Copies of this chain bind each other. A is one copy, B any other.
Amino acid sequence: MLGTAGRYNWRAKLAGRSVNLAHFECEGVRFMNGAESLVRTLVGGGVEVCFANPGTSEMHFVAALDRVEGMRCVLGLFEGVVTGAADGYARMSGKPACTLLHLGPGLANAAANLHNAKKANSPMVNIVGEHATYHLGFDAPLTADIEGIARPVSHWVRTSPNATKVAADGARAVEAAQITPGQIATLILPADTAWNEAREPAPVAAPSKRTQVPQEAIKQAAKILRSGEPTLLLVAGEGLMADGLAWAGRIAAHTGVSVKSNWSNARLQRGAGRFSVQRVPFAVDLALEQLKDFRHIILAGANKPVAFFAYPDKPSVMMPDTCELHRLAELDEDIVHALEWLADEVGAKDTAPVLQPLQRPPLPSGTLTKDAIAAVLGACLPEDAIVADESVTTGRGFYPLTAGAPRHDWLQNMGGAIGLGLPLATGAALACPQRKTFALSGDGSAMYTLQALWTQAREGLDVTNIIFANRSYDILLGELSRVGAGNAGRKALDMLDLTRPNLDWVAMAKGMGVTGIRVEDAESFTRALNAAIAGEGPSLIEVTA
């Protein structure tokens, strides 16, 4: 082996030979560059999918993907698609995907959906190309403070200093991503650390198990439950998967405690045969009304209910001042075990939970009101569906009428940055090719990352994209008055209005290779949805109410 290669010093030794610089042989000895050592490390660490939008500085990584078995590569035509899809993949597979992003601006384009993924605690490894280390001082156009861009949307950030360190840095990134409950790890890869000679791939440590909650937390929660005082068990994270919910259901059946989730959840398993939970409402007044009689809230992975925004005349925390908070489990602790333990402690282990019966609403007809839309969904959702929900105002009331559909997973936006729905569904469908995936999106949200449709078409993903075309930032019409901004005039209302011209979603979908249909009444929506469910591959339904 040659020694660790400096900037060009191996070149002199190879002078005059024709070499493949990416992974070359010299006098029978095979060399590996930094990029390949990284790809091999990632694959060895269980990373099987790379969502990518690469550029020049990532070409060695791209080339290495060809030489390493076991990494599926998925191209997105905008970086928000890339990170939103990696989020959906992580939520459904429980594993980190990697992303491949082009310098500071590529990362910046990815950042809004990284913000969402960070708030959802989805594990993810971002590989961000950078100029060669010696090129940085010349302020070429794409030079930017990549670490500065990465930090607000990452839990872990590192710039690899040279090719021999890349593999170990990659291993640390995968480990960081898998620290419970899941983290965003961003590794910045200067071009010369990708193309210079590297060492072997590095081993990745297996993720450590979730820590058990302390016994005192169980005892305290049990004491509250036994007190008979009005109590809410607020569940989040792993607690909203079927097993956790079953324990919560047993506790509820035995003690009479109310069980809810917060409004937004990274993943909630629901439907027939499962213990069904209501959500704390989005609207502050409704939340306060629903929670007004509780004397205690036991937090099982959840944060206390907080308003999405501040309003001049409403509180930030949506619970009565007199309500006491008790922490059963943190989000990164073993919430499911804590619920099981609590069930045991209160004597509920053998109590049967009240399970949601299969109960589909009757099919509506005529006008597509919000409830009619919800009823069609509730009537048609197939078993094991995945719902990526960014339906904003239209979907505020989807929960009750879909609760009795066959079992399904419901994924929401945890960071509030719109433009997640279509990419999230894209990644979820890629993780679960045997299941039907539905993206529910407002038209305003869907416009942010509509490029996801192209990736769905290319990969043949079974996603039904349902776009609620109310042709406005409808939520803001309400918010304008809720924040007390006064009577809006034409100029203000224009900022919330998506007409002039109307968006034609069927045309835009066609432009990206996805078949679309526009529906304007309940019957045609039902027909279109059933056709999508019977079919395969991506489709789009524009719901014009």
Complex formed: what's the CA distance from A507 to B505 in Å? 10
A388 CB to nearest chain B CB (Å)? 16
Complex formed: what's the CA distance from A444 to B53 in Å? 11
- Evaluate contact between A309 and B57: CB separation under 8 angstroms: yes
**CB of A30 within 8 A of chain B?**
no
- Evaluate contact between B140 and A309: CB separation under 8 angstroms: yes
Return chain B residues, CB-CB under 8 Å to A56: 308-309, 475-476, 479, 482-483
- Evaluate contact between B109 and A105: CB separation under 8 angstroms: no
With A312-B195, A503-B454, A510-B504 known to touch, is A488 a contact of B141 (CB < 8 Å)?
no
Return chain B residues, CB-CB under 8 Å to A179: none
B interface footprint on A314-332 (CB within 8 Å = 1, 0 otherwise) = 0011000000000000000
Complex formed: what's the CA distance from A8 to B116 in Å? 32
- Evaluate contact between A142 and B417: CB separation under 8 angstroms: yes
22 contacts between A and B (CB under 8 A): A20-B486, A21-B486, A54-B495, A56-B475, A60-B483, A62-B488, A63-B486, A65-B491, A65-B495, A75-B497, A105-B415, A109-B111, A109-B417, A141-B308, A142-B309, A149-B152, A149-B153, A450-B451, A503-B511, A504-B511, A504-B513, A508-B512
With A22-B484, A77-B498, A511-B503 known to touch, is A140 a contact of B66 (CB < 8 Å)?
no
- Evaluate contact between B141 and A414: CB separation under 8 angstroms: yes
A515 CB to nearest chain B CB (Å)? 11
With A56-B479, A457-B501, A479-B56 known to touch, is A491 a contact of B73 (CB < 8 Å)?
yes
Which one of A131-139, A211-219, A422-430, A525-533 is at the B interface? A131-139
- Evaluate contact between B479 and A21: CB separation under 8 angstroms: no
**CB of A494 within 8 A of chain B?**
yes
B interface footprint on A462-475 (CB within 8 Å = 1, 0 otherwise) = 00000000000101
- Evaluate contact between B485 and A62: CB separation under 8 angstroms: yes
A426 CB to nearest chain B CB (Å)? 15
Return chain B residues, CB-CB under 8 Å to A450: 450-451
With A73-B494, A492-B65 known to touch, is A487 a contact of B20 (CB < 8 Å)?
yes
Most buried by B among A59, A65, A134, A490: A59
Complex formed: what's the CA distance from A489 to B139 in Å? 33
Interface band, chain A = 35 or more
**CB of A43 within 8 A of chain B?**
no
A interface residues with partner B (beta carbon < 8 Å): 8, 11, 20-23, 52, 54-57, 59-60, 62-63, 65-67, 73, 75, 77-78, 80, 104-106, 108-109, 111-112, 115-116, 119, 131-132, 134-135, 138-142, 144-145, 148-149, 151-153, 191-192, 195, 264, 303, 306-310, 312-313, 316-317, 413-419, 444, 447-448, 450-451, 454, 457-458, 473, 475-476, 479-480, 482-492, 494-498, 500-513
- Evaluate contact between A476 and B55: CB separation under 8 angstroms: yes
- Evaluate contact between A484 and B21: CB separation under 8 angstroms: yes
Complex formed: what's the CA distance from A512 to B446 in Å? 13
Residue of B23, B134, B148 touching A148 (CB-CB under 8 A): B148
- Evaluate contact between B310 and A485: CB separation under 8 angstroms: no
- Evaluate contact between A145 and B152: CB separation under 8 angstroms: yes
Complex formed: what's the CA distance from A145 to B111 in Å? 12
With A132-B310, A138-B316, A306-B138 known to touch, is A115 a contact of B105 (CB < 8 Å)?
yes
Return chain B residues, CB-CB under 8 Å to A105: 111-112, 115-116, 415-418
Return chain B residues, CB-CB under 8 Å to A191: 309-310, 483
- Evaluate contact between B316 and A135: CB separation under 8 angstroms: yes
With A316-B134, A415-B141, A513-B502 known to touch, is A66 a contact of B115 (CB < 8 Å)?
no
Complex formed: what's the CA distance from A508 to B504 in Å? 9
- Evaluate contact between A501 and B512: CB separation under 8 angstroms: yes
- Evaluate contact between A59 and B138: CB separation under 8 angstroms: no
Return chain B residues, CB-CB under 8 Å to A73: 491, 494-495
Complex formed: what's the CA distance from A485 to B10 in Å? 16
Return chain B residues, CB-CB under 8 Å to A505: 511
- Evaluate contact between A140 and B458: CB separation under 8 angstroms: no
Return chain B residues, CB-CB under 8 Å to A512: 501, 503-504, 508
With A141-B119, A414-B141 known to touch, is A80 a contact of B63 (CB < 8 Å)?
no
Complex formed: what's the CA distance from A510 to B116 in Å? 31
Complex formed: what's the CA distance from A66 to B418 in Å? 26
A64 CB to nearest chain B CB (Å)? 8
Residue of B109, B134, B444, B484 touching A77 (CB-CB under 8 A): B444
